[in-house]
Structure 1
Amino acid sequence: MDNLFDVELTMKLLSLDFVLGALLVAAILGLLAGVLGPLIVARNMAFSVHGTSELALTGGAAALLLGWEVGNGALAGAIVAALVLGLLSRRSSDYDSVIGVVLAFGLGMGVLMLWLYKGRASNKFGLLTGQIVGQDFASIALLTGCAVGVFVVLALLYRPLLFASVDADVARARGVPTTGLALVFAVLVGVATALGVRTVGSLLVLALMVTPAAAACRVTASPLRATLLAILFAEVSAVGGIVLSLAPGAPVSAFVTAISFLIYLVCWVISRVRRAAFA
C-alpha cells in the first residue's frame, strides 16, 4: 500500500516523456469520449461500443501477429465492426442480437490470434487492459489525426444527428437520413473506441466511452450541459486514472474504471435526491 499512493514517485514519473505523451493521449481520448458519449447514451449504443471494442481487439491482435502497427490494426477492426453492425442491424429489433453475434466472433478470433502470437506477453495484456508505455510519436499522431477527423465530421452532422438521436421517428418524417447518419455515427464511435483500446484496453473501454456520459445524463437533460459534463468527467477519469496508476505500475484501466464509476455513483445519488425533493 505504501507504493500505491507514493506522491514523490508519481511526481518523478510525471516528468518522463512517455508519461507526458500518455497524458496527452488521455486528454484527447477524454475529449472524444465526452463529445460522443451523450449521443451514444441517447441512441442506446452502449452495448455496441462493447461489441466494437472486441473487433478492435481482433484487429490489434491481427496486427501483432503480422508485425504491423497495433493502432492501425485496432482502427481497421473497429471500422469493420461499425460497418458490419450498421449493415446487419437495419431493424432496431435485430440490433442486440447482431451485436451479440459480432461480439462473440470478434472475441473468439482475438483470443485465437493472441494465442498464436509468440511475442512479449505484455503486448497481449496491454490490448486487454491498456498500457501507457506504447504511446510513441506515431501513435500520438494517429490519435490526433483521427480525433480531428471525428470532430470535423461531428461538427458538420451534429444537429441532424442530435435530432435523430432524440426522436428518430420524427426526424425520419422530417426527411432526415437517419439510416445514413446511424452508419456514419457508428463509424465515428468505432474510431474513438479503437483509439481507446491502446490506453484503456478493449475489455474496459466502456468506462471511458459510456460511463462519464451516463453520469452526466443523470444530472442534466440539456444536451449542451450533458456534453460539457461528460467531457469533464471523461478527462478526470482518463487523466486521473493514468496519474494514479503510475506509482503502483498497475493497469491504467483499473483506475479509469474506478474513477468513472465513483463519478457515476455521485451523479446517481444527486439525481435520486433531486427526484425525492420534487416528489
Structure 2
Amino acid sequence: MFSHPFMQHAFLAGTAVALAAGLVGYFLVLRAQVFTADALSHVAFTGALAALAAGLDARIGLFAVTIFVALGMGALGRRGRPDDVVIGGVFAWILGLGVFFLTLYTTTRSGSGNGSASVTVLFGSILGLSGSRAVVTAVIALVIGAVLLAIARPLLFASLDENVAAARGVPVRLLGFGFLVLVAGTAAESTQVVGALLILGLLAAPAGAAIRMTTRPLWALGLSAAIAVASVWIGLAAGYAIPKVPPSFAILAVAALTYLVTIAVGQLRHRRHVERRETDPANPQQPRIAALASSTALDEG
C-alpha cells in the first residue's frame, strides 16, 4: 500500500489533519460548540466555490472566507462565543450563497458544466493530493495543533467556567476568537480529507468517544486525537483494500462506530454497577430496595 505515492501523500496529510481535528474537536464538544463547526463546514464549501467561480485556487476561498465568517460569528456572540441564533442565521445565509456560487461556477467556469470540483469539495479528495499539497496541508494542520496546545490550559478554564475565568483575568473573549479561528482553519483543512459535508463527523465523533472514556481533560484530549488519527489510518487502508469504498466514508464510519461502541460500553457498565449495588449485602439501601421490589410485585399481582 505504501509503495504508491498517492497513498503516502494521503497518510501524511490525513494524519496531520486528523491530529488537529481531534484536538480542536475535544474543545468543541466541551464548549458545546459543535453546531459552530457544522456551520463553518458549509462556509468552507461556499468559500471554495466562490474562489472557483472567480477563477482562483479553491484553498484561498476555503481559508479566507471560513476564517472571516468565524470571526464575524464571534463578534456577534457573547465573549467570542456565538449562540444558536447567530449560528443558525449564518448557516442559512451561507448555504444560500453556496447554491448561488455553485450555479455560477457550473455555468461559467467548469467547462462541461458538471461541476466535478464542487463534488470534490463536498466529499473530499484525499487520494488526489499531490506531494507539495500534502506537505502544505500537514504543516498547516500541525501549526493549528501546536497553537491549540499552547492555549489549552486557559482555554480549558474558560470552557468549564468562563465567568470565573474572566474574574481571574483570563482573556475569555480573545480566547473565544482565537478558538474560532482554529476551528475555521481545521474545517478548511479537513475539507481536503473528508469533504465539507463530513467534516463534523471527524471533529465530533472522536471527541465524543474520548469524553465518554475518561473524565481527565488531558487524557481525553490525547484520546480524541488518537481516535481521529486511527480513524483516518483504518479508513485509508479500507479504501485501498476495497476500491468501491470511498475513503471519506470509511474514515467517518470508523469514527462513528467508535463513538457508538463507547456509548454501548458505558451503558453496560452503568447497568452492571446498578445491579451490583442492588445485590450487595453490605449496601445500606438493600433492605429498602428489597421491600420496594416486593411491594411492586404484590401490586402487579
Aligned position for 2:135: 141
- The residue correspondences of 1:91-130 to structure 2 (distance < 5 A) are 95-118=83-106, 119=110, 121-130=115-124
Q: Indicate how the Cα distance of structure 1 residues 30 and 248 shifts in structure 2: closer, same or farther if over 3 A, else same.
A: same
Aligned position for 1:6: none
Aligned position for 2:236: 242
CA contact (8 A) 1:75 1:194 kept: yes
User: Which whole-Å CA distance do the structure 1 matches of 2:6 and 2:232 have between them?
Assistant: 16
Partner of residue 248 from structure 2, selected from 249, 253, 267: 253
CA contact (8 A) 1:63 1:73 kept: yes
Aligned position for 1:156: 150
Structure 2 residue 13 is the aligned partner of structure 1 residue 19: no
Q: In structure 2, the residue corresponding to 1:214 is in which secondary structure? A: helix
> Greater Rg, structure 1 or structure 2?
2
Query: Can you give the 5+ residue segments of structure 2 that lack an aligned partner in the other structure?
Result: 275-301
Structure 2 residue 72 is the aligned partner of structure 1 residue 84: yes
TM-score, length-normalised on structure 2?
A: 0.83
Question: What is the CA distance between 1:219 and its match in structure 2?
Answer: 1.3
Structure 2 residue 207 is the aligned partner of structure 1 residue 213: yes
User: Which whole-Å CA distance do the structure 2 matches of 1:111 and 1:242 have between them?
Assistant: 30
Aligned length: 267
Aligned position for 1:187: 181
User: Which whole-Å CA distance do the structure 2 matches of 1:132 and 1:182 have between them?
Assistant: 30
Question: What is the CA distance between 1:144 and its match in structure 2?
Answer: 2.8
Aligned position for 2:286: none
Aligned position for 1:222: 216
User: Which whole-Å CA distance do the structure 2 matches of 1:36 and 1:211 have between them?
Assistant: 12
Structure 2 residue 56 is the aligned partner of structure 1 residue 68: yes
CA contact (8 A) 1:237 1:260 kept: yes
Structure 2 residue 28 is the aligned partner of structure 1 residue 40: yes
What code does the residue aligned with 1:233 have?
Answer: I
Aligned position for 1:8: none
Partner of residue 262 from structure 1, selected from 257, 264, 269: 257
Question: What is the CA distance between 1:201 and its match in structure 2?
Answer: 0.8
Partner of residue 277 from structure 1, selected from 265, 272, 279: 272
What value does the CA root-mean-square deviation take over the aligned residues?
A: 1.9
Query: Can you give the 5+ residue segments of structure 1 that lack an aligned partner in the other structure?
Result: 1-10
Aligned position for 1:28: 16
**CA deviation profile, 1:166-220 (whole Å, cap 9, x unmatched):** 2212111211111110110010111011100111111110111111001110111
**Could you tell which deviates more after superposition, 92-101 or 106-115?**
92-101
What code does the residue aligned with 1:277 have?
Answer: R
Q: In structure 2, the residue corresponding to 1:221 is in which secondary structure? A: coil
User: Which whole-Å CA distance do the structure 1 matches of 2:38 and 2:231 have between them?
Assistant: 18
Q: Indicate how the Cα distance of structure 1 residues 92 and 275 shifts in structure 2: closer, same or farther if over 3 A, else same.
A: farther
**Could you tell which deviates more after superposition, 87-96 or 203-212?**
87-96
CA contact (8 A) 1:242 1:252 kept: yes
CA contact (8 A) 2:202 2:228 kept: yes
Aligned position for 2:161: 167
Question: What is the CA distance between 1:253 and its match in structure 2?
Answer: 2.5
**CA deviation profile, 1:216-269 (whole Å, cap 9, x unmatched):** 101111111111211121012122222222333443322222111110011111
User: Which whole-Å CA distance do the structure 2 matches of 1:94 and 1:190 have between them?
Assistant: 14
Question: What is the CA distance between 1:91 and its match in structure 2?
Answer: 6.6
Question: What is the CA distance between 1:274 and its match in structure 2?
Answer: 2.5
User: Which whole-Å CA distance do the structure 1 matches of 2:185 and 2:80 have between them?
Assistant: 22
Q: Indicate how the Cα distance of structure 1 residues 242 and 63 shifts in structure 2: closer, same or farther if over 3 A, else same.
A: farther
CA contact (8 A) 2:44 2:191 kept: yes
CA contact (8 A) 1:129 1:251 kept: no
